[in-house]
Amino acid sequence: MRIEPAMKRRRWLVGMLGVVAASTIGYAGWRTFRPGDQAVCYACKRPIHEHSKTVAFADARSRLFCCPACALSQQEQSGEPVIITRLTSFLSGEPLAPENAFVVRGSDVNMCIRDRGLIGADKRPAPLRFDRCSPSLYAFANPSEASQFARQHGGQVMLFREAAETFSK
Ligand SMILES: [Zn+2]
């Protein structure tokens, strides 16, 4: 059977519409059901960055925090012990055991604070007001990764244990 050119065009058009419809529905579905979309920090309600995610036992349950600094601030502010049970490697996003992890404290990177660089009325950068996620604290699997990060972004390399013991605002 001969297919008329007009018919061919129509088939092609119907096929294309199908593809567009399917990808639109797929995209909408992905948008609606994207996992982790609702993940916000237990304490500050900021969205949780995958590379600084921190799990801690606080207020009688395991909770998700945006970063180690925020979890330690929680302990300071609530006066109740907050026990960090899992850190995340800032480089790889892999989970890290707090016992062996290294951290960089006070680098120029802070994923939680988005309004840095505010300019005050006198046209000078406004001083950073108190923030529970500052000074920033990010975890690394070993001292060489931590040192490399600190060379680029400043901050102090230490064991997570030490950082937790000496943490205060
Ligand atoms: Zn937080």
- pLDDT tens digits for 66-84? 999 999 999 999 999 999 9
Ligand 1 centroid–CA 132 distance in Å is 7
CA distance 139 to 19: 44
14 versus 33: the higher-pLDDT residue is 14
Ligand 1 centroid–CA 113 distance in Å is 10
pLDDT confidence of residue 145: 98
| Backbone angles phi and psi of 109, in degrees to 5 | -100, 130
CA distance 69 to 60: 20
Q: What is the pLDDT of residues 85-130, one digit of tens each?
A: 999 999 999 999 999 999 999 999 999 986 544 555 566 555 556 7
pTM of the predicted protein model: 0.70
